[in-house]
Amino acid sequence: MGDLPLALDLLNAVLQFDLSPQQLRQRLDEAVRTPALDQRAAALKNVVPPGALRGITETFALSFEKLSTPARQAALVLAQLEPGTPIPEAVIEALPPELNSTEVRITLRQRNFVTGEAEGVFGEMHRVLAGYLREQAGPDDANRARDALLAVMKPDRCEHPDHWPTMNACARHARPLFLRLATDALTEPNDAVATGGLGVGLGILWCAQGDAAQARTLQEQVLAVMTRVLGPEHPNTLTSMNNLAETMGAQGDHAGARALHEQVLAVSRRVLGPEHLHTLTSMNNLAKTLVAQGDAVGARTLQEQVLAMLRRVLGPEHPHTLSSIKTGCGIPASKGSIVWRDGAKLLQAC
């Protein structure tokens, strides 16, 4: 009966704030005759000891019913996060204002829907309670949890060590939520982009921390979702392919990275045009991979093409042009080339 203390805590909160013992008994008697409770209890059969389902489920139903509408909505969203895992305060702050009010926070804590408050931690939700609430939730609840994590796990934060404690705490929720959402049931393009964004943030975090293997596995899953839902030539699909190629390069798989970069470049040229900035970025990424493979001549050729188009399209002193010059000057075979001869002078002038 490891889950009995949770049920007793919830009942205690109901008695403390809402009902007398007589009213509680009446409500539970009414709940016993509610067919929906049978279905809800069945949903918990794998996590609650035999014989305890009915009473615990009735307690959950009664406790949930007594919450205000915003507190109910917040509880349903928080149940989408990983049960038994501390929820960062930053995630709560990223929820819509009506789900993040002081009243909602106090209510969920007082009624034991979340416990274990600490510095920087809102609390955590018991696995059985989370399982019950997930049965009551709709798809929007999981999406709200996803969007809150996305709002916290910005790419620049995932890259910066100062933010890693919070990012790692978010990752404990983001990874299982991504895996739950990134299934064949995911067909809406906007949802695919947002769900993929969660995977992108995780990949950036793990790459920055040196765990390229874990990042690669997740980025392969992101790419599969983007390709299936958005199509192989969608910009988000190409970005996912580029992210995977960068991670493969970090692992030393330069041949695999080159193949992906060449694929991205071919699609970008055909769909966006040869002088589009995304196309030029793809050329630049491929050039870096060629350098890693020891093909400095091929990399120099690409860089000179990129620089010529940037000068023509953006001008010689545009930041993108100057960045391309810096990259080109770093290629071993560049000395004496147009990139070195003209670019070095321009950089000195700037």
pLDDT digits (tens, 9 = 90+) for 321-335: 666 666 655 555 554
Asked if residue 265 is part of any domain, the answer here is yes
276: which DSSP letter? S
Average the pLDDT over 17-35 and give the result. 48
Position 45 pLDDT exceeds 80 = no
- Label residue 223 by pLDDT band (50, 70, 90): very high
> Do 186 and 225 meet the contact criterion of CB atoms below 8 Å apart?
yes
Average the pLDDT over 291-316 and give the result. 86
Q: Measuring CA to CA, which residue among 313, 303, 315, 302 is closest to residue 346?
A: 315
Ordered alpha helix ranges (H), 231-318: 235-250, 254-271, 277-292, 296-313
> Do 107 and 164 meet the contact criterion of CB atoms below 8 Å apart?
no
- 16 vs 11: CA distance, rounded Å: 8
Asked if residue 70 is part of any domain, the answer here is no
Scanning the structure block, which residue is given the tokens 């694929």? 263
Average the pLDDT over 226-244 and give the result. 95
Amino acid 277: pLDDT: 86
| Range of lowest pLDDT (22-31, 61-70, 75-84, 229-238) | 22-31
Average pLDDT, the chain: 82
Q: Measuring CA to CA, which residue among 21, 25, 50, 54 is closest to residue 40?
A: 54
pTM: 0.78
> Do 67 and 106 meet the contact criterion of CB atoms below 8 Å apart?
no
More confident residue, 195 or 344: 195
Cβ atoms within 10 Å, residue 127: 15
Asked if residue 225 is part of any domain, the answer here is no
Asked if residue 160 is part of any domain, the answer here is no
Average the pLDDT over 97-103 and give the result. 96
The count of structural domains within the chain is: 1
Asked if residue 84 is part of any domain, the answer here is no
Angle between helices 53-65 and 4-17 (to 10 degrees): 30
| Range of lowest pLDDT (173-182, 187-196, 247-256, 297-306) | 297-306
Position 175 pLDDT exceeds 60 = yes
Asked if residue 175 is part of any domain, the answer here is no
> Per the structure block, which two tokens stand in for 287?
């050039």
Q: What is the CATH number for 310?
A: 1.25.40.10
Asked if residue 301 is part of any domain, the answer here is yes
- Label residue 310 by pLDDT band (50, 70, 90): confident
| Range of lowest pLDDT (59-68, 162-171, 190-199, 276-285) | 59-68
Residue 281, Ramachandran bin (φ over 0: left; ψ between -120 and 50: alpha; else beta): alpha
Q: How far apart are the first and last CA of the chain?
A: 72
> Do 91 and 160 meet the contact criterion of CB atoms below 8 Å apart?
no
Asked if residue 38 is part of any domain, the answer here is no
Question: Positive or negative CA dihedral for 79, 81, 87, 89?
Answer: negative
Average the pLDDT over 110-135 and give the result. 91
- Label residue 49 by pLDDT band (50, 70, 90): low
What b/e sequence results for 192-211 when a residue is b if at least 16 CB atoms lie within 10 Å of its CB, and e otherwise?
Answer: bbebbbbbbbbbbbbbbbee
Domain limits at 309?
A: 255-350
